[in-house]
Amino acid sequence: MNGFQAFAEAAFSLPGISAKPEALKGIRVIELATRIFGPVTSDYLGEFGAEVIKVELPLRGDLMRYVAPQGFFWKEVSPAFLSLNRNKLHVAIDVRLPEGKDLFTRLAEKSDVVVENLRAGTMDEWGIGYLQLRARNPRLIYAANSGFGQWGPYSQGRASYDATAQAVSGMSAITGFPGRPPVKAGFWVGDYTGALFSAVAILAALAARRRTGEGQLIDISQAEAMIRTLDWTWPYAGKTGRDRERAGNLDVALPPSGIYRCADGFVAISARDAEEQAGLLKAVGAAASGPAPAGEGDGLSPDRIAGFAAPRTRAEILRASEEAGFSAAPVVGGREQYHDPHLRARGTVWELDDPLYGRIDEYGPVPKLSESPGRMKWTAKPVGYHNEQVFGGLLGLSEEEMESLGRKKVIGKWADVPGARPPRNE
Amino acid sequence: MSDFSDWAKSATDPRQAASMPEALPGLRVLEVCPGHFGGMVAASILSEFGADVIKIEPPGGDPSRKYAPEGISIGGTGLPFLSEARNRKFVTLSLAKGEGRGFFRRLARGADVIVTSEDAARLEEMGLGYESLSAGNPGLIFLALSTYGSFGPNARRRVKDADILCQALSGAPYIVGEPERDGSDPPEPHQAPTRLGNWHASFVEGLWGAFGVLAALHFRAEAGKGQFVDVSGAEGLMKFADYNITWMHTAGKERQRTGNFDPAVFPYTYIRCKDGHTFIAAYNDEAFESLMIIVGRPELTRDPRFSTPASRIRMENERVLLSILEEWSGNLTADEILRAVEDYTSKKSGPGAAVVTGRVNRPLETLAEANWRERGCFARMDDTAYGDLLLAAPPWKMSGTPARIKSVCRPPGADNMEVYCGLLGLSPAELDSMSLRGIL
């Protein structure tokens, strides 16, 4: 092991993480959000030590609780809900009732960040929007996540999901194969992308607040986030007046880089510079039975790469890439990731022991920080699970006050349905 | 529009950003990412919030300036590079030479952040890695971007990080696109794992890098210490792959490609309409009932194939439902569908009533929509060196310290004088001599 590897294995050791400090310790986030865009924004902050209080409506809570792949609930909870809500405190308040608004406002007074993803203006109508909360807590950073923004022609009344952002941004139009319809990504990429942009802006606003002492409003549209990620699409449209076309699995900015079918699946082949193209040409040329076609560049046509890849396994192509000096990587799915020792050694597949559910493996934090690493502490909980801890501990309500609020249905817990309720004793 | 909406516009309109303070003024970032797009994204994001970014290119310019779809190049620089070269200073420096490495160390002493896609182990061997540089600058935040990450069993795999590699390993293409059909015919080319058409993995890699740097900055403000931030682009996009891992763990099942269908929610799909495709979603019971009224088939809410969320996500029922929806949408434009949905849902309220739609725009259609134009999503820049360019502006609207785009790009080494003479105190004669020796 060389010097760097020794350093890295020590600096990023998984068993060492729990003894290290957390980057965002002391930051409190209140989440009033449903489904993915808002909950994931605060999830990313919670992974790095922010205390996230997830506020749901009593009984049924976040509607994402009922999005279950093939209708499957595990221990009364959907695996799709678990992966969006880690390290959170779950409380249930009916914020539409006056006493509920008051409770929410009291939480926001003690918080650094609010994350919401309701339709633009809803929180303001309810009396708990940015302006009302800022009057009580000028240090508050308020992330308003929406489909089309808090202002502008499309901002009023239009709802948005992940695929709205995929669709209206132009992303789907450039994804898929020529002559085939545009492709909707099979995962909720429009939500996660928006959420990551939102979380980045919250961290930037925290940096600004360290200097100024003041919070601010962040208006982030998930469609606008997707627009920002479409790389050369916009200057190309500006220069040529044309639409960028779907190019299938070929990266037309770096040909013949792309995804190719091989003997046991699919593989990505990449040659991003002259050195790698020479390496790829060498490998393809050595493999070809006949002479290389005449003419510059033909040796690396996508057809030729496809012919090279087709009879070989992913492992053979990876080996060839290392020998010849181009890059390759297998196309993998969840099963291979789940069993991948590399991902487990990095905590990217995180082995979480949850106090309520037991062992539940998840995708872990993405950036690995050597001094103040992220971590998974617990997974999502039933509706209202942490009411006493938050209302009693943080807000100082007495048991009688909580009972009274419960009777008035201002606060509450789970409905007795899969998705909302705790696991059953076996 | 509501009072709040009016206030939000007045407080966050990006047209007034230039007169407002920035979130990260004075934060010095060195970008050492030759040939690498994700590193440019990370540095761009920090720069949009006000960081002072110096991009270090090898003498002659960054190899990624040559990436040129359809051969379109302006002043020797392709559109991908120009799309992400904003707000920086551009210097050249050869790290292959000992003297160049010396200058890099001097720049690093005054830096808050280094963003690099170079192999972290190789940099350490040259005395340019995190351990070497942080010894003289303990507050340094060192962001390393790569395909596999800097540690773990696969960290020594020999690859040059690129979007397509990260996409492949992320698990995203595996669940994007059309499945192969059963039968003996060979699959068609499109029945394959499908890459996202943009460099989404590179973008997400850069965004996670910026996230990690900002989290580390927060920690530094508390603890006074910098740190190493390790980001794998594959893992960045992997994180977006929904419940891949919890589904494996709890049910032992692997997600597969389902094309336009979805294993957990339906309708949640693109449908054909008169002028292209549009998105339609209405997957909980209230929303589904709303949609069936809109399409004029209210009786289907009582049809056992569609009466519960669980029945609607059976794959055979999803197929039937899609064709029912397309019978309706085939005679309507995407805008007519939007109006039908809005007319209905504006009369109805409640958390579950949402029927959601949105046209599948081609890029020029996106550009033609007033919402993005009015909100300043695009910046038309007239650059002295690269001419008229259309760029995506920072997406956030912020009331205190708005992000902004200040410049487009500069030629390689355009800021050598300012950085080496201004910042490091070299004389113009020394600068000339460095050029002659091939260090710049």
Q: Return the SS3 of B90.
A: strand
Report pLDDT for A287: 74
What residues in A contact B43, CB-CB < 8 Å? Answer: none
Q: How do residues B48-106 score in pLDDT, each as one tens digit?
A: 999 999 999 999 999 999 999 999 999 999 999 999 999 999 999 999 999 999 999 99
- Three-state SS at B97: coil
To the query of whether residue A124 is one of the catalytic residues in this protein, the response is no
Q: What is the pLDDT of residues B280-301, one digit of tens each?
A: 999 999 999 999 999 999 999 9
Sign of CA dihedral B319, B321, B327, B331: negative
Residue B25's contacts (CB-CB under 8 Å, 6 or more residues apart) are B50
**Candidate from A173, A235, A360 with C-beta closest to B79:** A235
Show the tokens assigned to B145. Answer: 């971007």
d(CA B277, CA B273): 5
At B270, the amino acid letter reads: Y
> Tokens at residue B59, please?
């003498």
CA distances from B267 to A33, A63, B260, B315 (A): 22, 16, 10, 11
| A309, amino acid identity | A
CA A269/CA A267 separation, integer angstroms: 6
- pLDDT surpassing 70 at residue A88: yes
End-to-end CA gap in chain A: 48
Mean pLDDT of chain B: 96
State the average pLDDT over residues B236-263: 96
pLDDT of residue A217: 98
pLDDT tens sequence across B120-136: 999 999 999 999 999 99
Pick from B153, B255, B362: CB nearest A334 = B255
Mean pLDDT of chain A: 96
Q: Is pLDDT above 70 for A426?
A: no
Instruction: Yes or no: say if A284 and B191 are a contact pair by the CB < 8 Å rule.
Output: no
Other Cβ atoms within 10 Å of A403 Cβ, number: 12
The active-site residue out of A191, A219, A231, A340 is A191
Decide: helix, strand or coil at residue A250. strand
Q: Do A332 and B232 touch (CB under 8 A)?
A: no
pLDDT band at A286 (very low <50, low <70, confident <90, very high): confident
Q: Please give the domain boundaries of chain A with CATH numbers for all domains.
A: 3-229+348-407 (3.40.50.10540), 258-332 (3.30.1540.10)
Whether pLDDT at A36 is above 50 = yes
Lowest mean pLDDT segment, chosen from A33-37, A158-162, B16-20, B142-146: A158-162
Could you tell me if A94 and A100 are in contact, meaning their C-beta atoms sit under 8 angstroms apart? yes
pLDDT at A288 over 80: no
Q: Is the peptide bond before B267 cis (omega within 30 degrees of 0)?
A: yes
pLDDT at residue B351, as a whole number: 46
* Secondary structure, 3-state, chain A: CCHHHHHHHHHCCHHHHHHCCCCCCCCEEEEECCCCHHHHHHHHHHCCCCEEEEEECCECCCHHHHCCHHHCCECCECHHHHCCCCCEEEEEECCCCHHHHHHHHHHHHCCCEEEECCCCCHHHHCCCCHHHHHHHCCCCEEEEEECCCCCCCCCCCCCCCHHHHHHHHCCHHHCCCCCCCCCCCCCCHHHHHHHHHHHHHHHHHHHHHHHHCCCCEEEEEHHHHHHHCCCCHHHHHHHHCCCCCCCCCECCCCCCCEEEEECCEEEEEECCCHHHHHHHHHHHHHHCCCCCCCCCCHHHCHHHHHHHHCCCCHHHHHHHHHHHCCEEEECCCHHHHHCCHHHHHCCCEEEEEECCCEEEEEECCCCEECCCCCCCCCCCCCCCCCHHHHHHHHCCCCHHHHHHHHHCCCECCECCCCCCCCCCCC
Nearest-CA distance A26 → chain B (Å): 10
Residue A164: closest C-alpha in chain B: B358
CB-based contact A220:A143 (threshold 8 Å): yes
A94 vs B346, which has greater pLDDT? A94
Assess whether the previous peptide bond of A79 is cis (omega < 30° from 0): no
Question: Which residues from B are below 8 Å from A148, CB to CB?
Answer: 371
Tell which CATH classification among 3.90.1150.10, 3.40.50.2300, 3.40.720.10, 3.30.1540.10 matches the domain B268-360.
3.30.1540.10
Question: Is any Cβ of chain A less than 8 angstroms from the Cβ of B248?
Answer: yes
Where does the pLDDT of residue B313 fall: very low under 50, low under 70, confident under 90, or very high at 90 and above?
very high
Q: Provide φ and ψ at A365, rounded to 5°.
A: -60, 145
Q: Model confidence at B354, in pLDDT bands (50, 70, 90)?
A: confident
Q: For residue A147, what are the CA distances in angstroms to A29, A118, A220, A347, B265?
A: 21, 9, 8, 32, 19
Dist. CA A278–CA A300, nearest whole Å:
9
What is the per-residue pLDDT for B39? 98
Query: What pLDDT sits at residue A292?
Result: 54
Contacts of A24 in chain B (CB under 8 A): 215, 218-219
What residues of chain A lie within 8 A of the CB of B217, using their CB? 203, 207
| Enclosing H/E stretch for A425 | none
User: Minimal Cα–Cα distance from B315 to chain A, Å?
Assistant: 9
Question: Across the interface, which of A175, A193, A197 has its CB nearest the CB of B197?
Answer: A175
Convert the pLDDT of each residue in A343-386 to its tens digit.
Answer: 999 999 999 999 999 999 999 999 999 999 999 999 999 999 99
Distance from CA of A378 to the nearest CA of B (A): 14
Helix segments in A142-269, DSSP class H: 162-169, 189-212, 222-228, 233-240
Joined together, the tokens standing for residue A316 give 């053979």
Cα B251 from Cα B394, distance rounded (Å): 40
CB contact under 8 A, B366 and A170: yes
Share of chain B above pLDDT 90, in %: 95
Chain A residue at shortest CA distance from B22? A208
Out of B159, B173, B231, the one facing A331 most closely (by C-beta) is B173
Which residue among B254, B277, B370 places its CB closest to the CB of A334? B254
- Look at residue B391 and give its three-state secondary structure: strand
| Residue A211 neighbours by CB under 8 Å, 6+ apart | none
Q: What is the DSSP letter of A120?
A: T
Q: What is the CA radius of gyration of chain A?
A: 25
Q: What is the pLDDT of residues A44-58, one digit of tens each?
A: 999 999 999 999 999
Crossing angle of helices A162-169 and A189-212, in 10° steps, is 90
Give me the pLDDT at residue A296, please. 47
Chain B residue with CA closest to A156: the answer is B1
The CA distance from A395 to the nearest CA of chain B, in Å, is: 26
pLDDT in tens, A124-173: 999 999 999 999 999 999 999 999 999 999 998 889 999 999 999 999 99
CATH class of the B3-240+379-436 domain in this structure: alpha beta
Distance between B341 CA and the closest CA of chain A, angstroms: 10
What confidence score (pLDDT) does residue A425 get? 75
How far apart CA B211 and CA B40 sit, in angstroms, is 14
Q: Chain A residue with minimal CA distance to B396?
A: A220
Domain boundaries, chain B: 3-240+379-436, 268-360
> Which residues on A lie below 8 Å from B11 (Cβ)?
217
Which residue is it, tokens 């002493």? B109
Handedness of CA B209, B212, B216, B218 (dihedral sign): positive
In the block, tokens 């003997």 appear at A263
Distance from CA of B124 to the nearest CA of A (A): 6
pLDDT in tens, B170-196: 999 999 999 998 776 789 999 999 999
Chain B residue with minimal CA distance to A167?
A: B360
Q: What is the pLDDT of residue A299?
A: 87
Cβ-Cβ contacts under 8 Å for B126 (sequence gap 6 or more): B95, B101
Spatial distance between the Cα atoms of A342 and A353, rounded to a whole number of angstroms = 20
Q: What confidence tier does A1 reach under pLDDT thresholds 50, 70, 90?
A: low
- For B198-222, the pLDDT digits (tens) are 999 999 999 999 999 999 999 999 9
A177·B195 Cβ contact <8 A: no
Q: Does B96 touch chain A (CB under 8 A)?
A: no
**C-alpha dihedral, B241 to B243 to B244 to B250, nearest 10°:** 170
Residues of A in contact with B180 (CB under 8 A): none
pLDDT, residue B345, reads: 81
Q: What is the mean pLDDT of residues A286-303?
A: 69
Asked if residue B36 has pLDDT above 90, the reply is yes
Q: In this model, does residue B352 exceed pLDDT 80? A: no
Looking at the partner chain, which of B130, B151, B194 has a beta carbon nearest the beta carbon of A249?
B194
CA-based nearest residue in chain A for residue B173: A331
Element (H, E) at B10: helix B3-12
Asked if A258 lies within 8 A of B164 by C-beta distance, the reply is: yes
CA distance A230 to B80: 10
Which residues, numbered 51 to 90 in chain B, qualify as contacts with chain A under a Cβ-Cβ cut-off of 8 Å?
Answer: 63-64, 67-70, 72, 78-80, 82-84
Substitution target from B243, B341, B344, B404 for chain A, most A beta carbons within 10 A? B243
